[in-house]
Amino acid sequence: MREVKITACQFRVEKAASFEVFKNQVEELINQVPEDSDYVIFPELFTVGLLGSFPDQDNLTAADLIKIDEYTSQYKEYFSQLAKKREQIIIAGSHLERREDKYFNIAYIFDKNGSYVEHKKTHIFPAEANWQTSEGDELEVFSIGPAKIGLAVCYEAEIPEVSRILSKKGAEIIFSPSYTFTEAGFWRVRHCAQARAIENQVYFVHCPTVGEPGDPLPNGYGRSSILSPCDHAWTANGIVAESETNTNTLVTGVVDIDDIYENRENGAATTFVDRTRREDVYAKYEPFNSMNNPSVSPK
């Protein structure tokens, strides 16, 4: 058995008058995290409350969210120190960050020694255009901690190719920091997260930002979950652990990595292999040629 303990911190965003206030919000949650959790994850753009620290906050709009980039160095330093202090791997959600003349939605994994790796979100949600967000171009799998892990930030969970590439590159757990503004948005990501777990035979961790912070910040809706492929080794509905909806809370679950490989060999559904077993059939339909310029509506 190769057991891994995961804790998802469902962060209820509030306006933060300073970075110290934001840190206090983080520590309210992380102080409840079991010391033996191998991975701790926070949600997407959970730093947005820092927009409340600017003196002109009442006149700001959603387009001004990029101003939180001013806290990038403090954000990185804080989570680097926190991971080192707690001796835990922390997936510190994501943060809007400027690189040269572009802004990216970047998710960070902080290792126990304080070092970190990053993932630039490759598919931005349409509403992110308001934040001048550019898209990243890399999908990497990281051997950090007891499992091979990948990141699919929110909308990336709705793009099947992202998780397929990560699983083919060896990902055993895919972590998805998320920020969905409506109940429908939450369910889109949640249903897709479950589908990605089933079709790739991996664990999928969905961790959303929640709360009603007030204009110009968007509301967050959701509940965190740790999901499995819905087969013999797990619960029938695939839920390893799940939080309450829209609360400032955390959820912890234990998964066995060896079960993934056993399931790929002997599961009722062997989708990881079967998705490529009939590539001869798929090739006849030239899907990527037709998808290069898809129509939004019928002609």
Q: Is 230 a catalytic residue?
A: no
Please give the pLDDT value at position 63.
86
DSSP string, 115-151: -EEEEE-SS--GGGGGGTEE-------EEETTEEEEE
Among 9, 154, 192, 230, the one annotated catalytic: 154
Please give the pLDDT value at position 299.
43
pLDDT tens-digit series, residues 230-262: 999 999 999 999 999 999 999 999 999 999 999
Domains and CATH numbers, the chain: 3-270 (3.60.110.10)
Q: Is 102 a catalytic residue?
A: no
Please give the pLDDT value at position 280.
87
pLDDT tens-digit series, residues 20-48: 999 999 999 999 999 999 999 999 999 99
Among 44, 97, 156, 199, the one annotated catalytic: 44
Please give the pLDDT value at position 61.
87
Alpha helices in the chain (DSSP H): 19-30, 72-86, 160-168, 183-200, 257-266, 271-277, 279-283, 287-291
CA 226, 239, 159, 261 torsion: positive or negative?
positive
Please give the pLDDT value at position 286.
64
DSSP string, 263-293: HHHHSS--HHHHHHHTHHHHHTT-HHHHHSS
Please give the pLDDT value at position 293.
52
Among 76, 120, 121, 148, the one annotated catalytic: 121
Q: Is 154 a catalytic residue?
A: yes
| Cβ neighbours around 145 below 10 Å, total | 16
Judged by DSSP in three states, 113 sits in coil
Ranges of the chain whose pLDDT falls below 50: 291, 295, 298-299
